[in-house]
Structure 1
Amino acid sequence: MRRRSLRRECRRFVRDLGLPPARSIRDLLPAIESRSGRSIRLEPSPPNSGGGLCGMWIRTVEGIDYIFVNEETSRAHQDHIIAHEAAHILRNHQGSGTLGEVNPVTDRLAPTLDPQVVKMMLGRSDYELHDEREAELIASHLQRHIHHQGPDISAGDPIAETLLRHGR
């Protein structure tokens, strides 16, 4: 899908969610939980978790989606990370991790999480390029919904534009 049409599709997707007004992405999590039918838990990623990991989403067979966020970054960046991972949840993207795989990143992030209950995990470096771009655009539109900064994200969103430009 071309970038321009992907942007339109993502803008339409967020608009069609019918999300309530909110002051932060954290305030939107109950609506996202309702839409996905799964609980969302925010967890800190451990300091120096390696690999430049900013955020990660782990889905369990128990019906819980864990979003791990680097707390050593600004609140604005944390909110964008949460919005990005929430976009993956909303689009039900599939990652590289599956039930029963042993993964050292998961072991470090969630030592109390039983590997047998992990259904799927996404870490930023493991996405297909399309899923990453889609999640980044949806995250930006979620943030725009919160901040009411206008309908077009094609300009003025330095985080999204930088990540899209560098193919992250």
Structure 2
Amino acid sequence: MTSSVIAPRCSRLAPGERGGPIDERGLPDLRDRARARVRTVLAAVPLPRPWSMNAWVDGLEAWRGREIDLVPIDYRPGQPSGAWQARPDYDLIAYTEHTSALHQDHIIAHELAHMLCAHTGTCLMAESEAAELAPDLAPAALSHLLTRVTSGTEEYEAELIAVLLMSAATSEPPAVQPGASGRAADQARRLAALLG
């Protein structure tokens, strides 16, 4: 039996990677672009009150004319807590299933930011590696979902947009549904103020 090399597939985040260095000279412009993007998106798709990520994603789907599937995944240490994949007819966002509702929403918001910014990255994982990580998923789907490394700048931009979105989503009582921590919502607002 001969072994064959399987070409890597593209996705968004490799295990253990955080995106690399950030060119700090461009941060003021990046922050301005992130704020402008959030203003544009929220003008087109207002946040539902009370806050619901599912309801907001429904609005994003209508605005973009493209479905977004949210898929809960088991988190394993060293693996990404979320990922985005653009498929031919829809977008797929995976998020950690066993965490707080507010944390899930933040993970989803981060991945939505990658989607809204159309971030790209470098391929790293082969289908055989993907099959070991998630035997229940088609290897090509998992490798495409979990292995593209984005730049530090893209990660920073996605995180900033997620913080701005979640800060807006949790800004008015009762913005956060029962089960989410008021302390976490306060921390998200403080972080957004620091980044702003």
Under a length normalisation based on structure 2, what TM-score does the superposition of the two structures give?
0.62
Shift of residue 39, structure 1, vs aligned partner: 1.5
The percent identity for this pair of structures is: 31
Shift of residue 8, structure 1, vs aligned partner: 2.0
Q: Provide, for residues 78-124 of structure 1, a one-character-per-residue CA deviation record: whole Å limited to 9, x for no partner.
A: 110000000011111113349xx626347745834472x7895455x
Match of 1:44 in 2: 72
Q: Provide, for residues 7-51 of structure 1, a one-character-per-residue CA deviation record: whole Å limited to 9, x for no partner.
A: 222111110122223213332112222344432111121242x42
CA distance in 2, matches of 1:24, 1:47: 22
Over 3 Å counting, the alpha-carbon distance change for 1:44 and 1:141 in structure 2 is same
Which runs of 5 or more residues in structure 2 are unaligned?
1-24, 173-188
1:74 pairs, out of 96, 100, 108, with 100
Match of 1:157 in 2: 191
Between Structure 1 and Structure 2, how many residues are aligned?
152
Which runs of 5 or more residues in structure 1 are unaligned?
150-154
Over 3 Å counting, the alpha-carbon distance change for 1:69 and 1:109 in structure 2 is farther
Q: Which amino acid aligns with 2:111?
A: E
1:133 pairs, out of 144, 153, 156, with 156
Match of 1:8 in 2: 32
Higher relative contact order (CA 8 A, sep 6+): 2
- Please say which structure displays the higher CA radius of gyration: 2
Match of 2:8 in 1: none
Runs (4+) of structure 1 exceeding 6 A deviation are none
Q: Provide, for residues 120-149 of structure 1, a one-character-per-residue CA deviation record: whole Å limited to 9, x for no partner.
A: 5455x8211111011011111211232237
Under a length normalisation based on structure 1, what TM-score does the superposition of the two structures give?
0.71
Q: Which amino acid aligns with 1:156?
A: R
RMSD between aligned residues: 3.4
Match of 1:29 in 2: 57
Over 3 Å counting, the alpha-carbon distance change for 1:3 and 1:132 in structure 2 is same
Instruction: Indicate the SS of the match to 2:69.
Output: strand
Q: Which amino acid aligns with 1:29?
A: V
CA distance in 2, matches of 1:6, 1:106: 37
Contact 2:84 2:91 in 1 (8 A): yes
Match of 1:152 in 2: none
CA distance in 2, matches of 1:111, 1:44: 14
2:86 pairs, out of 44, 47, 59, with 59
Match of 2:109 in 1: 83
